[in-house]
Structure 1
Amino acid sequence: MMVNNIGVISARDPDQAKKAIRYSIEDKDSPIGINPITGQLFTVRKLDRELVANHMFQVKAKEEPNGLESFVNVNILVIDINDNKPELSIEEIFVCENDMAGTVIGTISATDKDDHLPAFSFTLVKPNGNFSVIDNNDNTSNIVLKHGGFSLEDSRDYVIEIGISDGGRPPMNSITSLPIKVCRCDNKRIHTQCKAAQLKMGVSVHALIVILVCILTILVVVILIAMRKRHQKDALVTLGKSEIHEQLVTYDEEGGGEMDTNGYDVSILTSARNDGSMSMRQGPSLYAMVKKPPTACKGDMAVMIEVKKDEADHDRDEIPYDTLHIYGYEGPESLAGSLSSLDSSSTGSNLDYDFLNDWGPRFRTLAELYGVDGSEGSGSPY
């Protein structure tokens, strides 16, 4: 409660000058304030007797402008008012299966934080067909059965609402839900097995906050996962065709003369063509686009190369450009002469090519062309 006029502090100056007096409270955290001119005391904030019953502070009186000063101690006693609701005070309440009508199953009482003589009264907020409340006129009441026949196997829950009034001025009231258990008891009414009543309660604010935080966390995780997948998908779309082919098509080709040549895996290129990522170009064979050398003055080497070129021109299998071998042949009448080591034998070279017979079937044709016949006296390889 806020009070504007608790009391007045006054000071008297015995001097003839009669200077003005100003009042102040030394404790800046005091809940009591003072008018600096009149000395009237008032509350700065609400006082609660249950928290602090006495407030002690010091008031200073000083002559203006630079006169003498004096101090006085003030003690404020907070008087209690009826501002707290009564609270139900109860022990365990249960009903036995063998209890009969009129049995007192428990006694209830109440407590109050206010400083006054209690005069509690108890009532049932809603009429109940199983239980009744009888006031004992001593700030307690009995819970009495209206009928018997309770069973532990019964699925029903029993909860009654008790209304309490403290009889103060003004009177303070409260309502408390009281659960009652059904028990299996012995002859002395000592329970051996009980079925607790389920008190219906709403969800608290803290529980709602926890639920909302969990939901928000799940939503954030789902959104982050979706954004990550979308980013990965966009990264794949932005790749060029050449980059995709470089990542999907890999091969390691060795020279044609290697005995362990495995070439590359044609199935990879075939799969790339079948899935539509590599389109077939309709056009003339790459061999047909190679410029043919002149046909004048052809020797045996020129005839062989021309045959190979004709085979390549009419070959329907489009061999990849990676395996295309371009042959350069200088005619016998060229001023520069032939740059091929294979043709050097036609100029009277004494090179021995019999070792080609030891290289296997891959070099059988070259061995036949360049092998030296012992019956011939000339150095010609033919």
Structure 2
Amino acid sequence: MFIGIRVGGLVKMFKPYGPHLLCLLALHQVLCQDVDKQQIEGPLENKAFSVQEGLPSVPYLYKFTFEPPTVSLRLTGETDGIIQIRPDGVLYLNGSLDWETKKVHTLEIEGLNANGERVKGPFTVLIEVKDINDNPPQFDQQQYFGVVRQNSRPGKIFMYVTASDRDDPSTPHAQLSYSLRQHFPNPYHVMLFQINNVTGAISTTPAGAQYLDPTIVNVFILVVDVYDMAGQSVNAFNSHVDVNVTVLENLWKSPPPVKIKENSTEPHPISISRVQWNYPGVTYHILSEEMSPIKPPFMIDRNGTIYVTQPLDREQKDSYSLSIIVKDDDGDLQLSRAVTLNVTVEDINDNPPVCGKRLTKFEVQENEIVGNLIGVFSATDADQENTLNSRLQYQIVDQTPQIPTENMFRIESGTGTINLFSNALNKQIASNYSLKVKVTDPVFQTLCDVQINVIDINDQIPIFEKSDYGSVILPEDKQVGTVIMEIQATDTDEPFTGSSRIVYAVKAGDPNNSFSIQTDRKTNRGYVIINKTLDFETTPVYDLVINATNPEPLVAGIQYNSSSLTYLKVIVTDVDEPPVFLQPVYTVDKHENVTVGTFITTAGAYDPEGAQVRYALKNNDRNWLQIDPLNGTIYTVAPLDRETESTYLARIVATEQTRASQSSTAQLILHLKDVNDNPPYLVKDYVFFCHPLQGNERAKLEVSDPDESPYVARFSYSLMGGTEILDNWNLSKPDGLHMYISPKNLNLEAKVYDIPICINDRGRPPMEGVVHLKVNLCQCVEERCFVEPEGPRLPTVGMAIGILVAVLVVIGVILGIVFYHLKRKKATQQKVATANAVSPSELKNLT
């Protein structure tokens, strides 16, 4: 007798004794175990078992053992006609249990004597049914309908779909996952809707919030899938449903811009605009986008009407950007994105001109030429720029004193430019003049004060307090910007004027502008500063000649002399520096096929202190190069390959041969130029045709070449392998990187053919190679080669006879072909070239 147990969909047969019984017991522990993993047999007592639903039968669940006076067992309770017990005490199932029908079966078992009387028990037997994933999820509607407004906020839920699963909700079998497969139409080729995979909530994506427009598409059909097993298993069940979504117009829009005249005298508040939400029962709120402590002078009522609450002042603020949001009636939840109202405050002429300074001062030398510029007076107007409201006019209305004449100065009315209008300036008569300048706009006028000081003529030169400031010693690495010396000259002209102000400059001894001099405007003290990095090896000593001049020109007859000159010697001391490369980057182009030992370049570096320099290469990862450590010559020591690395980077290190051993680096960039050193090859060396052939078969073959253009511009192709290949196969329509292969002989047998093809890249020099294309003529299933199931198969008698007949037929065909070819060998050789192409043009392309 055999016992069958289903495992993973297969039924295993065992004899219930010997080693097969051990296998049965092991399978029993896998299929039917209680939580304590008890033995498969035992005395009468309370027991609990777990059984997977859907098993067709379980011939051995448990065996209850008993002793006299018990001679038989009786099983009662929720057996459902499936749970049975044999006379020998074996508890078994003669059918499948269903978790969805009953999750736990409660039974009683009793021991009976020979008279059928209970002598032991009753004992409780519980059989818990374990769920399997045998129910697909189901939507609660056959289709759904929803409505969404245009420009709805991304992620705002506008409807739900709901599905359920009859499997155990405490297991992944009933854990559902929703997904949106697609929607029709899809005019923008992006998903406009999205679904929460857990809740089934549907909302718009950011793209949907941007693109949904009922004037373009007003109805969408969404295909929604639901998977059990939380969507994480390839074995999950799924269902789908159509969701019809109607897009409605959005009334929530930004209102048009508003212009308001400043300083309005009308009664406030004044209605200026209105917004409207899609539904009633909401509240509107204004948020100012400006980070200002002043509350914006605007308000909005429950109807969405916007008011300005007070007169506006353009000079205080010329525009407002109001963000308007809508919330639910409780004012807690914001329903959508904000819309913006832009308010521009229009200008009126309500501001008088303002003097640029309380008192504007200019200077003029007493010998100034008539017509020369003295200065430009300026005023401002807070009204809007580049309008008539802020257009200013200037006029001198008073001059004090009015000597020697009353019109000593002139002001240009449109620009405020003040020029000398008389040559009668004399510091002894009047040392300064006070002008009243009237500044007007179309409505207002303002008087401003201008003072013009008549200054002494520049008839004194600066004189240095020292004619020689000696020397200063500096290391060559002294920081740029360091003050190395303070110098001082004096000028007895009128203080704080252009005649007495001193400008210092290095007149000689500094050809590279390594030093500069700054002047203190209050004290006329000069500060000599390092302007550029010093270099002992280039210039160890500077003999600086410094002069002092005035910004105002000297009067006629007065010249600068040696009193306005001083001397300063700067001695630069040496600091040990690392080697210096003649160039920071060495870029070289070489063909990849240069011979080993080819010269690449020579790196040049020197030590500023004159020490010997040795060279080395770093980051020479492929060890293609080597450098002479003494002279820096770089040459190849291995073959180069552009296809491996087209730009080879290495670092050149120069190290001074001193105790300090300081180093510097330069970059070597070696660009490898291509040569035609790689034959073409097939991107895919396998194709198939369905057998039997129909006559229209053709396969496209793609060719590639590691070399760069122009070598891959156009390939040539030819079949190899003799007449057997040429008679049965054809290459056609090559277009450089592609060609087509097709069978000529429609009676070819089903097998794999090895077809050699010669491909030439027509380079300089040309490279060609023979590639082997595998062509499988096979029986096809669903446009694919049929593959026999794995495993040994023994031929039947009929198959053996068929094989024998086929072998004899093949032998006969081969002998016939041999005799035929021997007879027509010469004629066949003359026609080979013509038979290789289907047309003269193709023959031409293949040569």
TM-score norm. by structure 2 comes to 0.20
Name the structure, 1 or 2, with higher relative contact order (CA <8 Å, separation 6+): 1
Larger radius of gyration: 1
Q: Where is the helix percentage greater, Structure 1 or Structure 2?
A: 1
Larger strand percent: 2
